[in-house]
Amino acid sequence: MLSKCANPECTTPFQYLREGKIFKVEREGPALVAGKKPVASVEHFWLCGPCSGKVTLVYDAKDGIRMAPKTMALVKRAAAS
């Protein structure tokens, strides 16, 4: 369950999806039985409005979820829309 912004430096609680961005991350887990398909798990993360304007979330199998700054081109494009 989402409780607050995924930015560790932000304390904005998640109450309603009025602003911000939700991220859905699907991960493959280990196979429960040899020879079977791995079981996938889904996690959700939320960045509040102010944080989602500055950063995004990136996933890689080695490091998991991490924040990455948005490039200026993306920030300008979002502000124009």
Residue 43 lies in a domain: yes
| pTM exceeds 0.85, yes or no | no
Domain range enclosing 4: 1-30+39-75
Locate 74 and state its tokens: 């993306």
pLDDT tens for 7-55 read 999 999 998 888 999 999 887 766 566 667 767 788 999 999 999 999 9
Residue 66 lies in a domain: yes
How many domains are contained in the chain? 1
Residue 58: helix, strand or coil by DSSP?
strand
C-alpha to C-alpha distance for 74 and 81, rounded to whole angstroms: 11
C-alpha to C-alpha distance for 72 and 15, rounded to whole angstroms: 29
